[in-house]
Structure 1
Amino acid sequence: MTTFYLVRHGKTELNLSLRFQGGEIDSPLLPIGIEQAIQAGRYLSDVRFDAVAVSTQKRAMDTANYILKENNHLDGLTVRYQDKLREIKFGKREGAEIDHTDEQTAYLRQRPDLYDPTAFGGETIDSLVSRSTETIEKLSEEFPEGTILIVAHGVLLITLINSLIGKEKAKWREGGPLANTSVTIVEKADDYKLISFNDISYQTTTEEA
């Protein structure tokens, strides 16, 4: 059985300003985002990871670094940076203010089976889930009895988690959005099983720092 710890990156400037932050844009972690990552690291400090896979975007890499600095079992541990764990691409909407009255934005959040990003050159949900699932499958094959840390992004993680546990496409955003630096645990034996979801019980900082 492979155990995956899936963590969303810490809060960023674009998260705060409610702008599209997809796979082709980055913004720095806020002080609160750094603190969230440190607290997540302390929460997971005694977990012995066999591998770490991180999105190649800076907000995820920085979050992973803060988490791992708190870990007590780093000897021999390697971190893999994976393009296939980058956030969904929003095309021309990258960095734009989110319009909550927009039809495609509503579909992305509530009915991903209807989401069509063609008009603005974005990435499809099917593409996102395909590439992220491929990464998870390869890790589960390589570490069939391992414990794996994944640090990635909100849309990627919620759609990946829901698809892995067998939900239909229309419900791939169910339970989202994931909180920044939330921890979700999924086990892979014959099938994928959700153990804990969107856990931020360890967080003690709630105000901007």
Structure 2
Amino acid sequence: MTTFYFVRHGKTELNLSLKFQGGDIDSPLLPIGIEQAIQAGRYLCDISFDAIAVSTQKRAMDTANYILKENNYLDKLTLQYYDSLREIKFGKREGTEINHADEQTAHLRQRPDLYDPTAFGGETIDSLVTRSTETIEKISEEYPDGKVLIVAHGVLLITLINSLIGKEKANWREGGPLANTSITIVEKKNKYTLTSFNDISYQTQTEDA
């Protein structure tokens, strides 16, 4: 059985300003985002991971590094970086303010089966889930009895997780959005099973700075 620990990156400047932050843009972790990652690392410090798979975007890589600095079992463990774990691409909307009244934004959040990013050159939900699922399947084959940390992004993770556990496409955003540095645990044996979802119980109150 492969046990996946899915973690969203820490809070960033663009998260705070409510702007689209997809696969073609990055912004730094806020101090609170760094603190969230450190707290997540302390929470996971006694888990001996067999593999670490991280998006190639800086906010995810930084989050992973802060988490792993707290871990007690790092001997011979290396991070593997995957373009396939980058966030969904928003095309011309990257870095722009999110308009919650926009039809496609509403579809992305509530009915991903209806989401069509063609007008602004964005990535489809099917593309996002296909590329991320292929990576997870490959890792589960390489580590059939392993514990694997995955550090990636909000839209990617919620759609990927819901797809893996067998939900219909219309429900791939169900339970989202995932909180920054939340931990979701999924076990893969004959099928994918959710054992813990969007866990931020370890977080203590911190101030944005």
TM range (shorter): over 0.9
Gaps spanning 5+ residues in structure 1: where?
Answer: none
CA distance in 2: counterparts of 1:207 and 1:199, whole angstroms: 20
- In structure 2, the residue matched to 1:88 is 88
Q: How many residues align?
A: 209
Deviations 1:107-135 (CA, angstroms, capped at 9, x unpaired): 00000000000000000000000000000
C-alpha distance in 1, partners of 2:48/2:86?
A: 24
The residue that corresponds to 2:67 in the other structure is 67
Q: CA deviation at 1:31?
A: 0.2
* Runs of 4+, deviation exceeding 6 Å: none
- 1:10 alignment partner, SS class: coil
Give the match's secondary structure for 2:109. helix
Is the Cα contact below 8 Å between 1:32 and 1:205 reproduced in 2? no
Residue 199 of structure 1 pairs with residue 208 of structure 2: no
Whole-angstrom distance in 2 between the partners of 1:78 and 1:12: 25
- Displacement of 1:205 after TM fit? 2.6
Q: Counterpart of 2:141?
A: 141
**Is the Cα contact below 8 Å between 1:54 and 1:80 reproduced in 2?**
yes
Q: Distance in 2 between matches of 1:132 and 1:169?
A: 15
2:188 maps to a residue whose letter is K
Aligned equivalents of 1:206 and 1:67: distance in 2?
17
Shift of 1:78: 1.0
How far is the alpha carbon of 1:207 from its aligned partner? 2.6
Alignment of 1:1-209 (within 5 A): 1-209=1-209
CA–CA distance in structure 1, aligned partners of residues 206 and 177 of structure 2: 17
What is the alpha-carbon distance in structure 2 between the residues aligned to residue 207 and residue 18 of structure 1? 18
Query: 2:152 & 2:205 partners in 1: Cα distance?
Result: 21
Distance in structure 2 (CA, Å) of the matches to 1:11 and 1:201: 16
Is the 8 Å Cα contact of residues 35 and 205 (structure 1) preserved in structure 2? no
CA displacement, residues 116-168 of structure 1 (integer Å, 9 cap, x when unaligned): 00000000000000000000000000000000000000000000000000000
Deviation at 1:208, TM superposition (A): 1.1
Cα contact 1:36–1:205 (8 A) shared by 2: no
Distance 2:33 2:143 in 1: 30
Structure 2 Cα separation of the partners of residues 159 and 131 of structure 1: 12
Deviation at 1:60, TM superposition (A): 0.1
| Identity of matched residues, % | 85
CA distance in 1, matches of 2:206, 2:155: 22
Scaled by the length of structure 2, the TM-score of the pair is: 0.99
Supply the RMSD in Å over aligned alpha carbons: 0.5
Question: 3-state DSSP class of the match of 2:76?
Answer: coil
Q: Which runs of 5+ in 2 are unaligned?
A: none
Cα drift, residue 206 of structure 1? 3.9
